Amino acid sequence: MMCARETLIELREAFEATFKERGNTSLDLWFSDRDKMRRLVRSMPSSEVAIELKTAMHRNAQRARVWEPNDVVDMDALSLAVPYCDIVVTEQHAHHVLRAARLHERMDKVLLRDLTELPANLSA
């Protein structure tokens, strides 16, 4: 579900422009094959992080109903920081979600939840 949402809301315009350049004006081919769409979207590191974070927000009954503006900013920032930075320091909830999804292992990143851990990880 989140993969479809990410595609329709966040990536649709980019996909349409890209496919149009290649002579295909329809996304029906991609949207009709759920597995193909999922593999494509989840192969993009930023989308992979965004999907994991948004899925966790929806699964959390306490947080699913009300998203604060900072939640969206945090998800956007982390979807760029995690794939493209070697070390990411974030708050406890996001740290837990990212580690539970094993993104730090798949993307070979160091995830910290306390800034005091940073110096030891910089020297390593």
> By the 8 A CB rule, do 54 and 83 touch?
no
| Structure-model confidence comparison of residues 38 and 109, the more confident one | 109
> By the 8 A CB rule, do 31 and 24 touch?
no
How many domains are contained in the chain?
2
> By the 8 A CB rule, do 94 and 78 touch?
yes
Residues 1 and 54 in one domain: no
48 burial via Cβ count (<10 Å: 0-12, 13-18, 19+): buried
Residues 77 and 115 in one domain: yes
Residues 59 and 104 in one domain: yes
Residues 44-74: pLDDT tens digits? 888 889 988 988 888 877 765 677 888 889 9
Confidence of residue 38 (pLDDT cuts 50, 70, 90): confident
pLDDT of 113 higher than 90: yes
Confidence of residue 104 (pLDDT cuts 50, 70, 90): very high
Residues 99 and 59 in one domain: yes
Lowest mean pLDDT among 7-11, 64-68, 72-76, 81-85: 7-11
DSSP state, 87? Answer: E
Residues 64 and 6 in one domain: no
Tokens of 54: 């948004």
Residues 38 and 67 in one domain: no
| pTM of the model as a whole | 0.74
Residue 88: give the domain boundaries.
50-124
